[in-house]
Amino acid sequence: MREALVWEAEGERVHCLLCPHDCRIAPGRTGICGVRENDAGTLVPLTYGRVSSVAVDPIEKKPVFHFRPGTTALSLGSVGCTMRCAHCQNWQISRADPSDAHLQLLPPEDAVRLAVQHGCEGVAFTYNEPVIWVEYVLDTARAAKAAGLYTVMVTNGYITEAGLDAIGEFIDVWRVDVKAFDDRTYRSLCRVRSVQPVLEMAVRAHTRWQMHVEVVTNIIPTINDDEEALRGIAAWIASDLGPDTPWHITRFFPYVELAHLPATPIPTLKRAVEIGAEEGLHFVFLGNVDEKGAEDTRCPSCGAVAVARDGYRVTGTHLSGSECASCGRPLGVRT
């Protein structure tokens, strides 16, 4: 068993510095995520190289729209999570115990080999929260970069500066959920103390590590669908990440502990798109809805469709490098 990154000894306990839960873990116990254990005074990651899910996915499925559109990424997930979201779509793995789960061993070099064999241009860490197997992310991302592949984190963004800086050099894309814009909602919906680390580390990923950042907000009736919350998220993206940052608004469907709520009404989603535009965002996409054109990239200057999409498929591009092929406006699409 290898030693974890970013931790310190405190007597018999170990202090994990990877996420803002700041766990101090007694011998033989794990932290809140359930996958980092105090093994006789040393913090060890229980899921290193142990995958629950492997698939070849279009990068659009993450969703990531403005980074290498039309390519595929080998997508890897394990078990565990730092949050316990009431509506988690992947609860079977995010809440699984690593000792119970049927996990397959996939060392970093084998993962990269598999990606290349399947014609992938990237590797994505996704399905469960990837921050909590940071050691595997680091080794696999380093090997992926050496093989000429890009790397994507699909994350809830709940990480410390030390954790982010451990992997920053080797990650190209930070696809982060911003689930609400206030601590109270994060506490009740996700069981974490604050949204602030999520916001701060997304900005750091962008400014310190030059990662391409895209934001997703799943709009849940009565939970995070009020105008103030949506306006707060949109204004923060525009001011702190830049107005060309893609914001994906996705439709909620009743699930797990929130099975009693209705699906997000379409007018609520359309209003969120308007709010994004009012706050200055140029690329607001509507996901989980059957709405023609809602996931196309349109040039904010001339209105031309620069990237057309149908579901997870790119059906046409009208780009000149990363610029609109019609008017030359830079669109921030990394090709």
18 touches ligand SF4 by CB under 6 A: yes
Consecutive H or E run containing 234: helix 227-236
With CB under 6 A as the contact rule, which of the stretches 25-33, 138-146, 235-243, 285-293 interacts with ligand SF4?
25-33
3-state helix, strand and coil shares in percent for the chain, rounded to the nearest 5: 30, 25, 45
Q: Within 13 Å, how many C-alpha atoms sit on residue 200's CB side?
A: 14
CA 247 to chain CA centroid, nearest Å = 12
Type of residue numbered 200: E
Answer whether 273's CB lies under 8 Å from 296's CB: no
21 touches ligand SF4 by CB under 6 A: yes
Provide the 10 A C-beta neighbour count for residue 4: 23
Question: Which token pair is 329?
Answer: 């406006």
Answer whether 183's CB lies under 8 Å from 143's CB: no
Q: Closer to ligand SF4 by CB, 32 or 152: give it.
A: 32
16 touches ligand SF4 by CB under 6 A: yes
229 touches ligand SF4 by CB under 6 A: no
Question: Which token pair is 30?
Answer: 């794990």
Q: Closer to ligand SF4 by CB, 150 or 158: give it.
A: 158
Provide the 10 A C-beta neighbour count for residue 184: 10
Q: Closer to ligand SF4 by CB, 14 or 229: give it.
A: 14
CA 72 to chain CA centroid, nearest Å = 16
Q: Closer to ligand SF4 by CB, 177 or 214: give it.
A: 177
Answer whether 299's CB lies under 8 Å from 324's CB: yes
Q: Closer to ligand SF4 by CB, 4 or 115: give it.
A: 4
Q: Which of 5, 31, 177, 249 binds ligand SF4 (CB under 6 A)?
A: 31
Question: SS3 for 14?
Answer: strand
Q: What is the CA radius of gyration of the chain?
A: 20
Q: Which of 19, 59, 202, 238 binds ligand SF4 (CB under 6 A)?
A: 19
Residues shown for the chain: 335
38 touches ligand SF4 by CB under 6 A: no
Q: Which of 52, 82, 224, 297 binds ligand SF4 (CB under 6 A)?
A: 82
Give the phi and the psi of residue 89 in degrees, each rounded to 5.
-75, -20
Four-residue CA torsion sign, 283, 284, 287, 292: negative
Residue 49 C-beta: closest distance to ligand SF4, Å: 17
Q: Closer to ligand SF4 by CB, 99 or 222: give it.
A: 99
Residue 187 C-beta: closest distance to ligand SF4, Å: 15
With CB under 6 A as the contact rule, which of the stretches 16-24, 96-104, 187-195, 219-227 interacts with ligand SF4?
16-24
36 touches ligand SF4 by CB under 6 A: yes
23 touches ligand SF4 by CB under 6 A: yes
Residue 23 C-beta: closest distance to ligand SF4, Å: 3
Total binding residues toward ligand SF4, as defined by CB under 6 A: 12
132 touches ligand SF4 by CB under 6 A: yes
Residue 75 C-beta: closest distance to ligand SF4, Å: 21
32 touches ligand SF4 by CB under 6 A: yes
> What residue ranges bind ligand SF4 (CB under 6 A)?
16, 18-19, 21-23, 31-33, 36, 82, 132
